[in-house]
Amino acid sequence: MNEVASLAGQPLSEQARQALGKRNLIFVGLMGAGKSVIGRLVAQTLSIPFIDTDAEIEKVSRMSISELFAAYGETEFRALETRVIERLLKQGPRVVSTGGGAFINEATRAQIKLGGVSIWLKADLDVLWDRVSRRDHRPLLKTENPRQTLENLMIQRYPVYAEADMTILSENVRKEVMVDEVLKALAGLSGEGDLAGKGELK
């Protein structure tokens, strides 16, 4: 009997947790995809510690993301983001929700690929815009036409996010439904698949 078959009959959350094993679970995707919110809920469901990289960056720098961008610029922010994520991924297993640009940075992407199983939360422009336009704390969207900026980022970034291990559509469904989608995808990580052993913490 393979690993998946032996897990059948157990609650989905338990199947997902066992399939993930000692690996980190890392959410990537554009602003508004739901990485922070869904990541936290998935972590609670799996009883695995949760960390949001933006929150961690704000903690270590004692500045908000907007303040960091304003004071040091995006390049410095990315360097800090890379260092923080490298450290966090070594402390797993954790559910790690990244900021939208993290996976686009080559060094950070390489760490994420080595450090666990990545999930791209993919959403269309209308869904993202509806969500991000309700708040104004995202420095990259402080432009004359933020919807156009978001669309440009989609065009640039979607081919890169597609390198994540798994893709889940983020739609306007209840958050619990999104969590279930994630658990189902994880439960499908069989002991024999391409992702077996990938990102296993030593």
Ligand X SMILES: Nc1ncnc2c1ncn2[C@@H]1O[C@H](COP(=O)(O)OP(=O)(O)O)[C@@H](O)[C@H]1O
Q: CB of residue 192 vs ligand X: minimum separation in angstroms? A: 32
- Burial of residue 94 (number of CB atoms within 10 Å: 0-12, 13-18, 19+): buried
Q: Is 98 in the site for Mg ion (CB under 5 A)?
A: no
Partner whose footprint covers residue 65, from Mg ion, ligand S3P, ligand X, none (CB < 5 to 8 Å by kind): ligand S3P
Q: Is 101 in the site for ligand S3P (CB under 6 A)?
A: yes
Q: Backbone dihedral region of 47: left (phi > 0), alpha (psi from -120 to 50 degrees) or beta?
A: left
Q: Is 36 in the site for ligand X (CB under 6 A)?
A: yes
How far apart are alpha carbons 1 and 187 in whole angstroms?
A: 16
Q: Is 65 in the site for ligand S3P (CB under 6 A)?
A: yes
Residue type, 19: A
Identify the residue among 13, 15, 24, 36 touching Mg ion (CB under 5 A): 36
Contact yes or no for 109/19 (Cβ under 8 A): no
Tell which residue, 35, 40, 65, 56, has the closest CA to residue 161: 35
Q: Which of the residues 157 through 196 are near ligand X (CB under 6 A)?
A: 172-173, 175, 178
Q: Is 44 in the site for ligand X (CB under 6 A)?
A: no
Q: Which of the residues 26 through 55 are near ligand S3P (CB under 6 A)?
A: 31, 35-36, 54
Q: CB of residue 197 vs ligand X: minimum separation in angstroms? A: 28
Q: Is 118 in the site for Mg ion (CB under 5 A)?
A: no
Residue 13 DSSP code: H
SS (H, E, C) 44-93: HHHCCCEEEHHHHHHHHHCCCHHHHHHHHHHHHHHHHHHHHHHHHHHCCC
Q: Is 35 in the site for ligand X (CB under 6 A)?
A: yes
Partner whose footprint covers residue 116, from Mg ion, ligand S3P, ligand X, none (CB < 5 to 8 Å by kind): none
Binding residues for Mg(2+): 36
Helix, strand, or coil (residue 25): strand
Q: Which residues contact ligand S3P by CB under 6 A?
A: 31, 35-36, 54, 65, 99-101, 138-140
